[in-house]
Amino acid sequence: MEFYDGDAWQPYGEFDYGADVRRLRVINDTLYAVGSFSSVDGQVSNGVAKRVGGTWVPVGAFPDPGQIVLDIVEYRDTLVVIGYVTFPTGRGIAYLDTDGQWKLLGPGILGGMSGAHSLAVYQNDLYVGGQISLPAGNAGQEIMKWNGTAFEGLGQGLQWSENNTSSFCDVRAMVEHDGLLFIGGGCNYAGGIPSHGVAVWDGTRWCSVPGQPNQQQGIMGMDFYRDTLFITCGYIADGDSVNLAAKFVGTDYIDSCAASVGIGEIVPPGAVTPTIAQTADGQWQVSGLSAGQHPYVVIDALGRLVQNGSLPGGDRSVIPTNDLKMGVYLVRVVGFPAQKVLLISPAR
């Protein structure tokens, strides 16, 4: 790797010969590199490294060597990567646990032809884009989001042709700008409306962006510079020669929008939402759960995951509050809608 100092290119660390660095990201003022490399500056690495004190150091360990990592972000204080990463129970997406090991996030990416290629954090959810098949069992088509406990779809998602979930079109880049999530790739429809190459998601609905920048290989990368969207693409965009790069010159990024999407968790038929009440000793008593294990998470007012665990059901379903402070929390028991709960006097 090299960097440009304003006059000339200078060396910036040594990666194993023939390996690729697929993406660079700055996370909390630290530069991260991900790719197919197996060593960095003489140390064994599995495709993830960060710059510390003038050298590259590996980040985390996978159960097996030979992983290819395509993107990395921080989500709720935890590093998450996607790519050709495999585990005994799934593949495609992983988080860095506190023990320094990369572990599968949720069920992973499902389907033999599916794969994640880009990540973004937007409105406190983790967005995963790529070649993602809805018929294979994933929550969305080409894109889905992780809410902290499960994946959710974004309406009809993205498609190569209208109402087509059998073909891939791929999401390769995502960037937030002015409160909107811009999504680039090779797709032609977003939420059922035409949108060629670039689409916008505002949290509840899909909107199209004017133009046709994906007339050849689609959007490979994009970002904003001084409020202008720049993309890397093929040699032709909007019918003009652009030599692999282009910028948006229109007056409005939004062309038209689809109807809002109602995104909710799947609740078992006939299920009754459990009630959560504070007991005399300050704990949260959860009533209405059947016998069996019920995973839960507690999220604070800033959107941070502050506690998780599993409830046994019945009268023994108690969420401890010893490590929490007074305030409002979002409590989500898997399989049921999240509930806002006021903690008046934490247990001590």
Residue 87 lies in a domain: yes
Exposed e or buried b per residue across 163-199, where buried means at least 16 C-beta atoms within 10 angstroms of its C-beta: eeeeebbbbbbbbeeeebbbbbbbbbbbbebebbbbb
* d(C-alpha 147, C-alpha 53), whole Å: 35
Same domain, 48 and 179: yes
Same domain, 178 and 316: no
Same domain, 38 and 177: yes
Same domain, 135 and 98: yes
Residue 314 lies in a domain: yes
Identity of the highest mean pLDDT range in 212-226, 302-316, 330-344: 212-226
* d(C-alpha 73, C-alpha 5), whole Å: 26
Residue 261 lies in a domain: no
Residue 321 lies in a domain: yes
Q: What is the largest CA-CA distance in the chain?
A: 71
Domain boundary among 247, 265, 296: 247
pLDDT class for 326, splitting at 50, 70, 90? confident
Same domain, 181 and 309: no
Residue 335 lies in a domain: yes
Mean pLDDT on 76-97 = 96
Same domain, 35 and 169: yes
Same domain, 230 and 293: no
Residue 7 lies in a domain: yes
CATH of residue 336: 2.60.40.10
149-191 pLDDT, tens digit per residue, is: 999 999 889 999 887 888 889 999 999 999 999 999 999 999 8
Domain boundary among 247, 266, 292: 247
Mean pLDDT on 74-98 = 96
Residue 263 lies in a domain: no
Same domain, 167 and 106: yes
Residue 264 lies in a domain: no
Same domain, 136 and 20: yes
Same domain, 19 and 142: yes
Same domain, 291 and 227: no
The two three-digit tokens of residue 100, written as one number: 């320094």
Same domain, 69 and 167: yes
pLDDT at 262: 52
Domain boundary among 227, 247, 267: 247
CATH of residue 167: 2.120.10
pLDDT class for 255, splitting at 50, 70, 90? confident
Phi-psi category of residue 218: left, alpha or beta, with phi > 0 → left and psi -120 to 50 → alpha: left
pLDDT at 265: 44
Is a pLDDT exceeding 60 seen at residue 264? Answer: no
> What's the structural domain count of the chain?
2
pLDDT class for 240, splitting at 50, 70, 90? confident
Enclosing domain of residue 338: 275-343
List C-alpha distances in Å: 40 to 1, 25, 46, 292, 343: 10, 16, 9, 46, 47
